[in-house]
Amino acid sequence: MRITEQKNSLSEEDLEWLRGTITVTKMLKQRLIVEFDDDPDIEQIDFSGTRGFYLIKSLGYKLYQFWFEDQRDYEDFRENILAYKLSSTKIKDDK
């Protein structure tokens, strides 16, 4: 048996229940699409510090959309994903 605590994580079914609410309106304004170089293990991304609801939606192989209710969560995630990108990008040395 496996028990998973969802905490602030929403499913697409939850989103249907919340349709037309201020929560969804906020989340629609704070979305990011991320295309990863390698297929990520989404379960390993730490969202434990989120202040509001969030949704992770797979758009295809290595392509994900992240929705956030709280603007601070959106900004934190964006900052972290950009830092990750910079740290994993190989820089050519033309010397």
The per-residue pLDDT for range 14-72, each reduced to its tens digit, is: 989 999 999 999 999 999 999 988 888 888 888 888 999 999 999 998 899 999 999 99
Tokens for 43? 């379960």
CA distances from residue 92 to 83, 89, 95 in whole angstroms, order as listed: 18, 10, 9
Question: pTM of the entire structure?
Answer: 0.81
Q: 5 pLDDT exceeds 60?
A: yes
Q: Where are the domains of the chain?
A: 9-87
